[in-house]
Amino acid sequence: MSLDREEPNHFGAGPAQLPTPVLQQAAKDLVNYKGIGLGIGEISHRSGDATEVIESTKANLRKLLNVPETHEVFFMQGGGTTGFSSLATNLVAAHVGKTGSAGTAGYLVTGSWSAKALEEAQRLGIESEMLFNAKDYNNGKFGAIPPESAWAEKLKAKDYSYVYLCENETVHGVEWPQLPKALVDSGIEIVADLSSDILSRAIDVSQYGVIMAGAQKNIGLAGLTLYIIKKSILQDISAASLDQLRQLGVPITPIAFEYPTVVKNNSAYNTIPIFTLHIVDLVLRHVLEKGGLAAQEEENDAKSQLLYNVLDKHSDFYKIPVSKDCRSRMNVVFTLKKEGFDKKFLDEAAKRNLTGLKGHRSVGGFRASLYNAVSLDSTKKLVQFVDEFATQNA
């Protein structure tokens, strides 16, 4: 069977399209990795070859994101939902280790994923609260981020163990343009979900306490999540005894998801899905070859601007339910103002091999995910279709 394929024009939100050269190399490596006679998925997770994959992925991630020496990189099984649980228990344990108090976990809710993260913390029994719900500032719907003046003073009101935000909400198409200054200046540990915009732009890693990113949206396959964490937080977690945590009613983190244990064992305490990690590494190399994050960010900005421009051009036909100051560059959501045309839009898009455009089931409409692997050429094809569909059906 040939490993060649027609380049897809797929805009699905995840699992998402990957660069064809990455998949071609991964397919070869799945059968025979580096000529050793075994596929990458068949080798021991503690073998020299597996360790090389882990170290290479860490090194390439550090290079792309300019990760400072103050931070550690590691990988764990699972996705964002697993991360919601492990972040909550690990970060509260860190606060106990540092201060002797469990504190309160704060959540900035801008969409369904940050809402789910808060729900999980509360389900686990973590003392947690919503610093704001963006719906309260946007007529009961997600689609805007309230100004810092509306919530920043709350940061001073309690002893916060951490504050959590999802930088890019895939369902509602809302993206923080940058970390809120009040939060950065507060000194509270910032815990951020970057699953859907990791490596889409340059960021200052030093500002974050923990970064979590599920691989399946922008950098790999489902089943693996990368973490970047302050080394001081790892030390604080280790300083909290189990007796302390029990006395304070803090849930004990399962050992396979306890961050210091994972780091101590170089991400291989539990059997790491090494094939999935290898694909992440291939994606990182691909981005480096393209020119790194500077080139990738320029391309992503161009893609999203083209699509938003054509949607704004036909504002009498399309509706973008997101404020201009927080429109996502990764997930462009929109609806049709005329009823009865949704199916026709998807059917005609499919005829042009434009796929993955149906909106999330909870909100309907349409969503074009412009992740790194979606080319500028694919985006231009979509833009042309969006333009023609509006003109022909106005």
- Supply the residues annotated as catalytic: 113, 193, 217
- Cα(222)–Cα(201) distance, integer angstroms: 21
Residue 36: strand, helix, or coil: coil
Task: Specify the pairing of strand 210-214 against strand 224-230.
Answer: antiparallel
Task: Specify the pairing of strand 190-193 against strand 210-214.
Answer: parallel
- Cα(131)–Cα(151) distance, integer angstroms: 7
Greatest CA separation for the chain = 68
Q: Is residue 122 within 8 Å of residue 112, measured between CB atoms?
A: no
Helices 112-123, 80-99: inter-axial angle, 10-degree rounding: 50
Question: Which secondary structure element, helix H or strand E, spans residue 116, and what is its range?
Answer: helix 112-123
- Cα(150)–Cα(177) distance, integer angstroms: 17
How many Å is the Cα radius of gyration of the chain? Answer: 22
Tokens 């500002």 appear where? 207
Question: Which secondary structure element, helix H or strand E, spans residue 11, and what is its range?
Answer: none
- Cα(107)–Cα(120) distance, integer angstroms: 11
